[in-house]
Structure 1
Amino acid sequence: MNCLENSERFFINGQWVLPSAPDEKSIINPATEEPCGHIALAQVQDVNRAVEAADAAFGAWSNTTCAERLEILGRIPSIYQRRAEEMAQAISLEMGAPITLARESQTTAGLAHIEETLNALRHYQFEECLDDILITHEPIGVAGLITPWNWPMNQIACKVMPALAAGCTVVLKPSEVAPLSAVIFTEILQEAGLPAGVYNMVQGEGTVAGDALARHSLVSVVSFTGSTQAGIAVAQAAAPTVKRVLQELGGKSANIIFPDTDFADAVERGAQECFGNSGQSCDAPTRMLVPHDLMEKAMEIAAKVAQSLRIGNPADSLTEIGPVVSSTQFNRIQTLIEKGTAQGAILAAGGVGRPAGLMQGYYVRPTVFGHVTPDMVIAQEEIFGPVLSIMGYADEDDAIRLANSTPYGLAAYVQSGSLERARRVARKLRAGTVTLNGAAWTVKAPFGGYGLSGNGRECSRFGIAEFLETKAIIGYGVDPQAH
């Protein structure tokens, strides 16, 4: 892959540059547990250099017109499409996504955000008049963007593009676990011809590079996606400079299935969505809520889904579930599966250990627990692996209570044969996104959470708005010559 040439460099002020100190990290292929490349790790001085470049470029970029930004950013989609296969191969290699998923979901999600942001920018109202007041929405400043490994292009595109569209300049710190896709993305933006310093990228550890970015006095906004624990650390680092902090954090999303729907189909779809991307999606429907008297039926259906999935080599186009991303994740998932059993949940499928025949790679058995109660760890903690917890409820009010019984509130799902009921229940759920009856994912909807799932919203015009500051100019419409 030609991206490896730049994987040990940073992109600062329009050029690929060497790190200030020789420090690097191996990129581990989770399917083989062997290194597949290396990246340089940024030190504080590298982050400072990138932020200073972004700050120097901010004056000119923030004063471009919407049309000028559209002309430059509009070059990105065609270049991205040309390199789509290379992007998919990088994502599959670095984080273990099956190649079909990497092509059809991971890579295309990035393109969808790019195109939707451009569309939103074409129609965005940056100014409005209120009596004699001009309300302007102006770029906030340098944006520090810290992105995760589980949906690398989805998260990079839905942060970088809105920030640039708003008129901000950017320093991106992608995940050091899955960094190759970020190198390709950076090469795409370089080819698109963004002015020097408008977009910068440094690789590095969150505790060093991410912390330095969050603390920097010239950074006006930090957008972070990752664990709740890491999000708290970012917010604490940012607090002394009183910068805006946007966080898309963990989730423990409920999927309420009512008996008036096609129950078997709803359970099957819910299990498949939980296990997708090896369970490594923050909005995965990991808590399935079903009527008490349908618990055994739900366990049976979900277990069949778990047992039918093709698990194996991500490079095989027929593979449905690849490995989880790292040994750290694998071990954490194993521990939580053990806790589920120890606390009395009924194991319907899967369990600890690797799937049969897979002795190498961070492969996890798709696991289904039934009779899960709210006090259990697997009902409260984000597992971030292919583990489904099925919980029973008594009635509609009880289902809503259970759905809202965790400190998270990123997403929720409702399946009902009555649209009126689905709508009613959705309004009572404390979640940033509620999907009814299997409606399709869309980049037009704002994405973000309540509670420990974070704050702020991403996607489309909602994402652009987060990188803008509001100014009121009072008396703007009053001509002093008229007095």
Structure 2
Amino acid sequence: MIDAKKFYIGGAWQSSASGVKKPVVDPATGEPITSVAIGTAADADLAVAAARQAFPGYSRTTVAERLELLEAINARLVERNDEIAEAISSEMGAPIALAREAQAPSGPQHFGEIIRILRAYAFEKAMGSTLIRREPVGVCALITPWNWPMNQLATKVAPALAAGCTMVLKPSELAPLDATILAEIIDEAGVPPGVFNLVHGDGPGVGARLAEHPDVDMVSFTGSTRAGISIGEAASRSIKRVALELGGKSANIILDDADFDVAVPQSVRAIMLNSGQSCNAPTRMLVPRARYEEACGLAAATARSLSVGAPGSGADLGPVANRPQYERVIAMIEKGIGEGAHLLAGGAVRPAHLERGFFVMPTVFGGVTSHMAVAREEIFGPVLVVIPFEDDADAIRIANDTEYGLSGYVWSRDRERALAVAGALRTGMVHLNGASLDTAAPFGGYGKSGNGREWGVFGLEEFLEVKSIYGGAS
């Protein structure tokens, strides 16, 4: 088992002075599998000091030197893919096939894209007689969640290294194992001491200190909107840059000319992937009133066809990642029933064949209106609501009736019609007819879904400041 009881600070592994540890729980059983050290503000201070000391030297490295480091890290991520997948599956319950084929490979996917960009990126360009220069923002605090752990590590660490920044990473204490592997890889790749630092811990003890720390120039956070607000408030006191990738309640608009036999089942599987624990999941299915019963039937049948079981069992869904999340999901299902929504599949009862672990059945609600909590709050579990609309304008109105704005989905055989609806959605991303995510494209949202963008060149530029040198291009 990976040892998450030490921190990586200044190029060396060391223990926390506090000696406090917390169990890492297998969500398939509810039993501890190892433990993680819980750091303190003092540990965070040591890591920030190491990053600050390393910044002058690393920020002056050449693109070629940074490419060499990134390529070495990327190669090792590929080599250790199965080990990383096993760690992710055990720490947050992802089915092993999903962990091997999507969760773990997301690391080299994002590192590879940043390598491609860095090879051709222009850090300087002329604008008339002025030289525009992009420079590393400085010391960065990177705070990541448990749901797609390696993905979120890579989308922050890779561009920060490429930009010439130094950093302190605080992964979720609920899923710390893959972050420890990444730290081992970075050490083996020869990244200079202090450039990358890892401190395990919780939000109040380590995350809050990093957000407020006067020697941190930027905070990049992925997680809940509630936590994002707290980080933004703490960071504002030192006027540091803040990039937030937060929650979502994404609408999935299936227009009347779409192929419902394709759109509805594919959409249900998309939300149930990773047990519904994806911030951009299409959790609100909006369908024409005339085809509402048809859509509800297809959605319920698809949900009932999906299997739930242990990560290594071959089941479609594993457990949700931890006990607090399990309790929230069950409570939200019960709340939906209490509000009068129609339970079409699943429910708040544990799957009959599973006696322990944090398992939730794929759940579909009909009879939902936009004022219900299940239609407004991010549940972050395998729960779908189906809502009818009258026409395209009504669908857009319902879709935009949310405080979130991360993603959206539109299905139609008429591409121009789909584009028109997509253009009216107040979201940072829209998928047309089931189109996949694009690693080169920006990932992020409007409103309470955050600010800033990750992935590709947009993700790189989050870690760069812009300087004007007047007369520098003449």
TM range, smaller chain: over 0.9
Partner of 1:311: 308
Instruction: In structure 2, list runs of 5 or more residues that go unmatched.
Output: none
Describe the SS at the equivalent of 1:46. helix
Alpha-carbon distance, 1:241 to partner: 0.5
Task: Give the C-alpha shift of residue 259 in structure 1.
Answer: 1.7
> Post-superposition shift, 1:359?
1.6
RMSD between aligned residues: 0.8
Distance 2:175 2:68 in 1: 30
The structural deviation recorded for 1:197 is 0.5
Deviations 1:402-427 (A, max 9, x none): 11010000000000000011111111
Q: Distance in 1 between matches of 2:18 and 2:10?
A: 18
**Structure 1 range deviating more: 151-160 or 15-24:** 15-24
1:476: how far off? 1.6
Contact map agreement 2:346 2:362 (CA 8 A) in 1: yes
1:331 aligned partner: 327
Secondary structure at the aligned position of 2:237 is classed as helix
1:20 to 10, 17, 20: 17
Report matched runs for 1:101-250 at 5 Å: 101-250=98-247
Cα distance in 1 between the residues matched to 2:344 and 2:194: 54
Question: Which residue of the other structure, out of 60, 82, 96, is the alignment partner of 1:99?
Answer: 96
Structure-2 separation of matches of 1:207 and 1:358: 34
Aligned to 1:389: 385
Letter in 1 for 2:256: P
Q: Which residue of 76, 79, 84 corresponds with 2:76?
A: 79
In the alignment, structure 1 residue 31 sits paired with structure 2 residue 22: no
User: Which string of whole-angstrom CA distances, capped at 9 and with x for unpartnered residues, describes residues 95-153 of structure 1?
Assistant: 00000000011011111001001111112111111111111010010010000000000
Match of residue 422 from structure 1: 418
Q: Residue 295 of structure 1: CA displacement?
A: 1.3
> Is this contact kept in 2: 1:295–1:370, CA < 8 A?
no
SS of structure 2 residue aligned to 1:75: helix
Which of residues 54, 61, 64 in structure 2 aligns to 1:67? Answer: 64
**Which residue, 443, 462, 483 being the options, matches 2:458?**
462
Q: Which residue is equivalent to 1:361?
A: 357
1-structure distance, mates of 2:195, 2:300: 50
Q: Deviations over 1:338-358 (max 9, x none)?
A: 111111211110111211111
Q: Distance in 2 between matches of 1:195 and 1:132?
A: 36
Q: TM-score, normalization: structure 1?
A: 0.97
Please state if 1:262 is matched with 2:237. no
Look up the SS of the partner of 1:266 in the other structure: helix
| Letter of the 1:89 counterpart | E
Structure 1: 4+ residue segments shifted above 6 A: none
Rounded to whole Å, the distance in 2 between the matches of 1:235 and 1:431 is 21
The residue aligned with 2:50 is 53
Once the two structures are superposed, what CA deviation does each residue of 1:450-481 show, in whole Å capped at 9, x if it has no partner? 00000000001110100111110112234xxx
Alpha-carbon distance in 2 for matches of 1:425, 1:324: 33
For residues 315-339 of structure 1, give each alpha carbon's deviation from its aligned partner in whole angstroms, at most 9, with x where no partner exists.
Answer: 22x2110000111111111111111
2:39 to 35, 42, 53: 42
In the TM superposition, 1:279-298 aligns within 5 A as: 279-298=276-295
> Scaled by the length of structure 2, what TM-score is found?
0.99
Conservation of the 8 A alpha-carbon contact between 1:21 and 1:43: yes
Structure 2 residue 428 is matched with structure 1 residue 432:
yes
| Contact 1:413 1:435 (C-alpha < 8 Å) held by counterparts | yes
Contact kept, 8 Å, 2:445 with 2:451, in 1: the verdict is yes
Secondary structure of the 1:241 match is coil
1:347 aligns with 2:356: no
Q: CA deviation at 1:168?
A: 0.4
Checking the alignment, whether the CA contact within 8 Å between 1:133 and 1:473 is kept in structure 2 is yes
Tell me the CA shift for residue 36 of structure 1: 0.5
Aligned-partner Cα distance in 1 for 2:69–2:267: 41
Aligned to 2:399: 403
Once the two structures are TM-superposed, the CA of residue 186 in structure 1 deviates from its matched residue by 0.9
- Count of aligned pairs: 474
SS at match of 1:158: helix
Instruction: Give the secondary-structure state (helix, strand or coil) at the position aligned to 2:395.
Output: helix
Amino acid at match of 2:333: I
Do 2:127 and 2:473's aligned partners in 1 also have CA atoms closer than 8 Å? no
The letter for the 2-side match of 1:132 is S
Shift of 1:299: 1.1
Counterpart position of 1:481: none
Does structure 2 retain, via aligned residues, the 8 Å contact 1:295–1:371? no
- Give the distance between the partners of 2:49 and 2:362, measured in 1 at CA: 46
Identity of aligned residues (%): 53
**Contact 1:251–1:410 (CA under 8 A) maintained in structure 2:** yes
Give the AA of the match of 1:347.
Answer: L
1:159 deviates by 0.4
Name the structure 2 match of 1:273.
270
- State the alpha-carbon separation in 1 of the partners of residues 291 and 33 from structure 2: 46
Is there any run of 5+ residues in structure 1 with no aligned partner, and where? 479-483
Determine the C-alpha separation between the residues in 2 that align with 1:327 and 1:272: 23
